[in-house]
Amino acid sequence: MRLIIAEKPSLARAIADALPGGGKRQEGAIVCGDTTVTWCLGHLLEQAPPEAYDPADKQWRLDRLPIVPDTWQLAPRSKARGQLAVIRKLIKQATSVVHAGDPDREGQLLVQEVIEYLKYRGPVQRLLISDLNRPAVSRALASLRPNAEFQPLFQAAQARSRADWLYGINLTRAWTLTGRQAGHDGVLSVGRVQTPVLGLIVRRDNSIRDFKPHPFYPLWVDLQVAQGQLRAWWAPKAHQPLDEQGRLIDRTPADALAAQLPGARGTLTTLDQQEKRQAPPLPYSLSALQVDAARRFGLSAQMVLDICQRLYEQHKLITYPRSDCRYLPEEHLALAQRSLSGACQNDDTLRGWLNGADFTLRSKAWNDKQVGAHHALAPTGKPADVSQLSATEGHVFRLIVRNVMAQFYRPLRTFEVKAEFTLLNEAFRARGQSILDPGWKPLFTTREDTPPLPPLTQGEACQALAAGVEEKETRPPEPFTDASLIKAMMNIGRYVDDPNVRRTLRDTDGLGTEATRAGIIETLVQRGYLVRQQKALRATKLGCALIAALPSAVSTPERTALWEQRLRAISEQQDDPNAFQQALLEDLRALLSQSDAARLRHSLQTAQGEVGGPAKRSGATKKSYTRRKSTGSKTATGSRSSTAGKRRTRRTTD
């Protein structure tokens, strides 16, 4: 008997539908002739707690840190024991096993750890499915690969799981116990991703709080040129009183110049005119979709992830959503017209877009070299039953279809003009844009970003008609929202001061992964470190206090981003998991030595945040906190057992 182990029931059903043999259901499995398909429920196993290695570590004590297992152990998750028993029984009867976890690092770990935990020693093949449509599943079943090819990916995932356990268990215990000494009765959880994310928000909130506005004075002049009128803005010279952005901060010279300008004559001294072509935005990765859906519809990152899971698993309208890729396989190009036509059948907006598409075009989105374990989000081609979709599901589905549809629209062509005029020996600048061909733009917006200028000729004369000075004030940074925070996590190198590290991080995945970013934000909210104020995410007093008390290296992004880089190197056989763990242990010991009750007491007393006193925002004592293992909340490791509610139980530690 061949046994296929899928990551979750929806994937198992899709596999069974594509197999011959009818698909006879039994407890925890589907029998299809000589093949049986069973499934996990997300992670069936988790890292064993500290007391599994030494009973003395059930009690939280500073003198027991760091806790480092000699031989790592896994334990069944309490709610997964029944399904694990089903797989145990089936795997004993199997002559071969097919690993059908999701095609990513965590999916590789999730199923393979079960196979190894149950001590199966027979042949194992790997089934990679990113699209639940029957034709796609059938193609995948015909292209099985040896699971051994994915051993480096498993080792990277295993290294991540163990390292997160070490980091979360030891730092959470250290700062919680230090917090007790400082008078705080509650758990202070620390995680290798969640804490730097909290640090981003705390530092942004501090910048907003400490911001001191100052006025600045832009000067405009309306000019008559040969074929019309335009408005230009003064570009003050360096000897004027300017701020770091080149803005005039003393009104006196602006008023003096404005008084002289009416009637003054000048010349167009510099003219830069060029036609530009802009390709359509690429299809979505999950994070890119979360950013756009937050901006356009006010949806939280977690809401977008949950909607995508329903569109993928329940409605089967989109391909695998937890993707970090924005490119599509080249073989999908030939199928695109059919899949888009199917997706647009029952929606007037989508049909309108479909009518304008030119399927003879090929954009840069179709590129096998850019596609890894996943490809970009795309419609499967199944017609959407609008009556079965909620309003938000419809919104997100249209966004996904739109970005794929845009690949069959012409580029946006614009004519852009930058002009500099000289009057009274001063420079005045104007810019404009004309749309030559809107191309894909109407699918996204009908607004023109920059109005056009009248036709201009290098060296032509101009005359000032009127001038004026506006009084404006500098504004503080905007607080983070779901959209801007996800974008910051994707592009974390922008928040790193060290230029060498910034260069290193330029091409990495940033903080968290496509699958975990939404859950990280929700975890910080649930733990009382963040609150939502309309669309803004603001740090609480407890969140501010924790960041102030921790070593800066724990709350800044450099370590965790470089950590992800090492995990990627392990998956590519360019690094060693043992060396990675040893480096982490050295780092941990240094961090543990910096826990300081006096510093924490001071930060708890002086922290400024949006709501909640520090001692009342933790939401748990140590006893209640450790009990949460069975409820889908974070355990004391700082790890997460659910990112999308009770439905999905994949566990990733952050």
Determine which one of 120, 217, 284, 320 is catalytic. Answer: 320
Tokens of 249: 């901060």
Beta-strand relationship, 461-469 and 219-225:
antiparallel
DSSP codes joined into one string, 149-213:
GGHHHHHHHHHHHHHHHHHHHHHHHHHHHHHHHTT--S-----TTHHHHHHHHHHHHHHHHH---
Q: Are 486 and 290 in contact (CB under 8 A)?
A: yes
b vs e for 136-162, b when ≥16 Cβ sit within 10 Å of the residue's Cβ?
bbeebbeebeebeebebbbbbbbbbbb
b vs e for 340-350, b when ≥16 Cβ sit within 10 Å of the residue's Cβ?
bbbbbeebeeb
- Helices 105-117 and 151-181: crossing angle in degrees, nearest 10, is 90
The Cα 503–Cα 446 span in angstroms is 37
* Summary count for the chain: helices (H), strands (E): 22, 21
**546: Cα separation from own chain's centroid:** 24
- Candidates 257, 260, 213, 264; CA nearest to 235 is 257
Maximum pairwise Cα distance, the chain:
95
Residue with tokens 């359509």: 280
Q: What are phi and psi of 86, to 5 degrees?
A: -60, -50
DSSP codes joined into one string, 430-458:
EEEEEEEE-TTGGGT----SSPPPPP--T
Active site residue 320: yes
Residues near 323 by beta carbon (within 8 Å), at least 6 away in sequence: 130, 285, 286, 374, 375, 376, 377, 514
Classify the phi-psi angles of 552: left when phi > 0, otherwise alpha if psi is within -120 to 50, otherwise beta. Answer: alpha
The Cα 485–Cα 299 span in angstroms is 13
Q: What are phi and psi of 243, to 5 degrees?
A: -90, -175
Bridge partners of residue 270, in order along the sequence: 420
The Cα 51–Cα 63 span in angstroms is 15
DSSP state of 114: H
Residue with tokens 């500290």: 50
Task: State the catalytic residues.
Answer: 320
